[in-house]
């Protein structure tokens, strides 16, 4: 059966309120399982280790079937004095400075990943997925992700499974509401993408908390989720990886 994975990005104490609203609306649309991309210390000012009500809320969501995914540590990338114009274009213009793992060394990435896993250690289950902020993961940082035993990561245009040889090509639908022109470009692009991905094995829909605040974007997300659900199993990334492994001699 074909699959739909809905992921909710940037889940943290700073975004808990819109995240709750989004998950409630997704449930109304029949989406009961998502991948929740959690930031352990969003912008260095929202450590989940110091917020017990957020931890309880997240634990309840995980117990209800949502998948916890590690999504960077701070999410934000510290600007470097030595940044090239291409680095600046990628990390400042494309992501507004949010590409934390864009150029981390293996050692630094490993330290942040381990810290993140420790912070998520209160959850009733282990964390198997890592998604870099803005999908920007350096080759050196990817080594750390593999070494720590994560099952998979995702990129904008593919799901990268470490414990098997194959990647699954699938471009994620995702919106930008940072400026009005970006939002309207997103609407046109995602309408096109929804048509071109309609028959593929995997449809990925990536939602950000800020999408809820843009009426036209949120309306389109609801429409596309409802349409994509028809005839598809709605699962988390982890579950999708498990489904792929079924029948294979390699058990995840
Ligand atoms: Zn993010």
* pLDDT tens, position by position, 191-237: 999 999 989 999 999 999 999 999 999 999 999 999 999 989 999 99
Quote the ligand 1 centre to 191 CA distance (angstroms).
Answer: 22
Buried/exposed code over 210-244 (b: 16+ C-beta within 10 A; e: otherwise): bbbebeebbebbeebbeebbeebebbbbbbbbeeb
How close is the Cα of 10 to the center of ligand 1, in Å?
5
**How much distance in Å is there from the Cα of 136 to the middle of ligand 1?**
10
How far does residue 242's CA lie from ligand 1's centre (Å)?
A: 24
* 100 CA distance to ligand 1 middle (Å): 9
CA of 195 from ligand 1 middle (Å) equals: 25
Exposure of 124 in the CB half-sphere (CA atoms within 13 A)? 11
Q: Which of 66, 109, 48 is nearest to 239 (CA)?
A: 66
Closest CA to 4 of 232, 250, 238: 232
Q: How far is the CA of 3 from the centre of ligand 1 (A)?
A: 23
Contacts (Cβ under 8 Å, ≥6 apart) of 91: 77, 79, 83, 97, 98, 99, 102, 136
pLDDT band at 143 (very low <50, low <70, confident <90, very high): very high
CA 115 / ligand 1 centre spacing (Å)? 18
What H or E segment, with its residue span, contains residue 6?
A: strand 3-11
pLDDT exceeds cutoff 80 at 12: yes
Ligand 1 centre to CA of 83 (Å) is 21
Distance 226 CA to ligand 1 centre (A): 23
Question: From ligand 1's centre to the CA of 8, what distance in Å?
Answer: 9
Both tokens of 138, joined, read: 């350096």
Phi, psi of 203 (to 5 degrees): -110, 130
**pTM for this entry:** 0.91
Ligand 1 centroid distance, CA of 251 (Å):
30
Tokens of 249: 């001699």
Residue 247 alpha carbon to ligand 1 centre in Å: 33
On whether the CB atoms of residues 68 and 127 are closer than 8 A, the answer is yes
16-34, pLDDT tens digit by residue?
999 999 999 999 999 999 9
Residue 248 pLDDT > 60, yes or no? no
CA 250 to ligand 1 center in whole angstroms: 31
Q: Tens digit of pLDDT for each residue in 91-117?
A: 555 565 788 999 899 999 999 999 999
Q: Find out whether 4 and 234 touch, Cβ atoms under 8 Å.
A: yes
Name all domains of the chain by residue range, CATH numbers in brackets: 3-245 (3.20.20.370)
* Distance between Cα 165 and ligand 1 center (Å): 26
Q: Mean pLDDT throughout 138-148?
A: 96
Report the pLDDT averaged over residues 139-155: 96
Q: How confident is the model at residue 250 (pLDDT cuts 50, 70, 90)?
A: very low
């Amino acid at each position: 059966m074909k699959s739909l994975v809905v992921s909710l990005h940037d889940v943290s104490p700073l975004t808990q309120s819109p995240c709750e609203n989004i998950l409630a609306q997704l449930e109304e649309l029949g989406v009961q399982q998502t991948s929740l991309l959690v930031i352990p210390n969003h912008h260095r000012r929202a450590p989940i280790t110091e917020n017990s009500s957020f931890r309880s809320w997240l634990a309840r969501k995980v117990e209800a079937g949502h998948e916890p995914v590690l999504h960077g540590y701070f999410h934000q990338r510290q600007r470097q004095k030595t940044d090239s114009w291409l680095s600046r274009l990628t990390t400042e213009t494309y992501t507004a400075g949010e590409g934390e793992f864009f150029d981390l060394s293996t050692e630094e990435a490993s330290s942040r990943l381990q810290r993140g896993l420790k912070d998520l250690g209160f959850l009733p289950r282990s964390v198997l997925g890592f998604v870099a902020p803005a999908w920007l993961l350096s080759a050196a940082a990817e080594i750390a992700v593999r070494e720590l035993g994560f099952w998979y990561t995702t990129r904008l245009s593919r799901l990268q499974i470490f414990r098997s040889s194959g990647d699954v090509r699938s471009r994620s639908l995702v919106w930008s509401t940072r400026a009005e022109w970006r939002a309207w470009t997103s609407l046109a692009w995602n309408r096109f993408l929804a048509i071109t991905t309609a028959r593929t094995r995997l449809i990925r829909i990536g939602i950000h908390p800020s999408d809820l605040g843009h009426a036209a974007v949120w309306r389109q997300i609801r429409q596309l989720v409802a349409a994509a659900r028809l005839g598809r199993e709605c699962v988390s990334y982890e579950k999708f990886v498990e489904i792929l492994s079924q029948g294979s001699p390699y058990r995840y």
